[in-house]
Structure 1
Amino acid sequence: MDKEKENRVSITVIRRLPKYYRYLGELLKKGINRVSSQELSELTGFTASQIRQDLNNFGGFGQQGYGYNVEGLYYQLGKILGLDRTYNTVIVGAGNLGQAIANYKGFEDAGFKVLSLFDKNPKLIGLKIRDIEIRDVDELEDFIKENNVEIGIITTPKENAQEIADIYMKSGIKGIWNFAPADLKVDDDVVIENVHLNESLFTLSYFLKNKSDYVKN
């Protein structure tokens, strides 16, 4: 798929792809070789028509009367999502959340290799989380440049987040995964994905309080 066409794909479509990828992976583990858009609809909750439209943005993966080859589609979606390679990653903020992310082996299995955690707390520096060392944040910039780090994760308090994002950008990182409750300013060529845990929880709270007033999509 050419870059010009890829850039025209809706962000809403892009955000559905990981869910397709996850369910296809589960089908593979069960030894299922093919799946129809209707069967995918029942698994994902999206309509069969929506699934076909989404996948057609990236090429003709299905065959009429056959459906989709599970292994082939899983492989192609992995390539589209950039999961056919390894990304060197660091985490700044070695508190509970940062340690939990470092501890999750699923990220490494998907190609996101956490090389190190960083913190300013002297009590944490030198400790290891699943053989991943916690280093002094003062070493961050040099470490990024020496280890070809491509993704920086931020799990610091709000007041430190922009400073860390600035160091990431200065060091050449182009992808930031931000868990701090702050809206960060980044360069135009830097991709940032914000995960605001409070906002997600507050949304859940709203739906619990008003569960008769909304319809699930």
Structure 2
Amino acid sequence: MDRESKVSMTVIRRLPKYYRYLGELLNKGITRISSQELSKLTGFTASQIRQDLNNFGGFGQQGYGYNVEDLHKELGIILGLDKMYNAVIAGAGNLGQAIANYKGFEDAGVKVLSLFDKNPKMIGLKIRDIEIRDVDLLSQFIKDNDVEIGIITTPKDNAQEVADIYARSGIKGIWNFAPADLIVPDDIVVENVHLNESLFTLSYFLKNHPSFDTES
């Protein structure tokens, strides 16, 4: 949708939080909620919530608020959760295995088909019935199984090489956990999860928060 293509990244990054809280409300049997009530849950202002949702159409009714089930469903569609995406993981170390073990991916529309590694001792092992294959088979596996998402959990030095394989093989989106800035074609979406950078940010706030003044 052309309208959605103009939505800022800041707004897009708030949508998963709305979706999560609406899911929790559904589980509690709550059928409707106002923007003011949603504001108390999410920490965003009621005005901000209304503006965010208005980017995608009118979901609320004045005097009624939002139908929780309908809004949850619509946000799921906007986030692409009504589709199933095949994914692979390059790097079958501890992090790769932890991601493969996470059962919540299928709820998010992502099915991990296989892990890949260059360590011969890992080849043939299974993580939650997901087989670890030789990385030399990665490109052909992607093409044969209509894989759209490539996950990178390799060391930094191998990340770009994997990204190149993904790009050549038709991957549309990369979820990158390696501490490396990848160079990929413009038509490939990259979402970086740099754990060290997140930890460094936490460390900064701990150091500079008045309650954690190490000088006193």
TM range (shorter): over 0.9
What is the one-letter code of the residue matched to 1:28?
L
Q: Deviations over 1:146-178 (max 9, x none)?
A: 000000000000000000000001000010000
Cα distance in 1 for residues equivalent to 2:26 and 2:3: 29
Q: Aligned pairs, how many?
A: 211
Which AA in structure 2 matches 1:55? Answer: L
CA distance in 1, matches of 2:198, 2:100: 22
SS at match of 1:15: helix
Q: How far apart in 2 are the matches of 1:165 and 1:13? A: 27
1:188 — aligned with what? Answer: 186
Query: What CA deviation, in whole Å up to 9, does each residue of 1:65-115 have, x standing for no partner?
Result: 100000000000000000001000000000000000000000122210000
Q: Aligned partners of 2:28, 2:137: CA distance in 1, in Å?
A: 45
1:129-208 equivalent positions in 2, closer than 5 A: 129-208=127-206
Q: Could you tell me the TM-score, scaled by structure 2's length?
A: 0.96
Quote the offset at 1:212 in angstroms.
Answer: 3.3
Report the counterpart of residue 124 of structure 2 in structure 1: 126
Which amino acid in structure 1 is aligned with residue 33 of structure 2?
V
Alignment of 1:1-217 (within 5 A): 3-212=1-210
In the alignment, the residues of structure 1 paired with residue 131 and residue 107 of structure 2 have an alpha-carbon distance, to the nearest angstrom, of 19
Query: What is the DSSP-based 3-state SS (H/G/I as helix, E as strand, rest coil) of the residue aligned with 1:182?
Result: coil
Over aligned residue pairs, what C-alpha RMSD do you find? 0.9
Give CA deviations for 1:109-132 in whole Å, capped at 9, x if unaligned: 221000000000111110000000
- The one-letter code of the counterpart of 2:149 is I
Deviation at 1:59, TM superposition (A): 0.4
Q: Deviations over 1:25-84 (max 9, x none)?
A: 000111110011111111111011100000000000000110000000000000000000
Give 1:5 shift.
Answer: 1.1
**Identity, % of aligned pairs?**
82
Amino acid at match of 1:6: E
| Alpha-carbon distance in 1 for matches of 2:100, 2:151 | 10
Structure 1 gaps, min length 5: none
Structure 2: 5+ residue runs without aligned partners? 212-216
- Any idea what SS the aligned residue of 2:116 has? strand
Structure 1 runs of 4+ off > 4 angstroms?
none
Shift of 1:197: 0.3
Q: Name the amino acid aligned to 2:36.
A: Q
One-letter amino acid of the structure 1 residue matched with residue 47 of structure 2: S
Q: Give the distance between the partners of 2:196 and 2:43, measured in 1 at CA.
A: 25
Instruction: Give the Cα–Cα distance (whole angstroms) in 2 for the partners of residues 10 and 67 of structure 1.
Output: 24
Q: What is the deviation of 1:203?
A: 0.2
**Cross-structure match for 2:214:** none
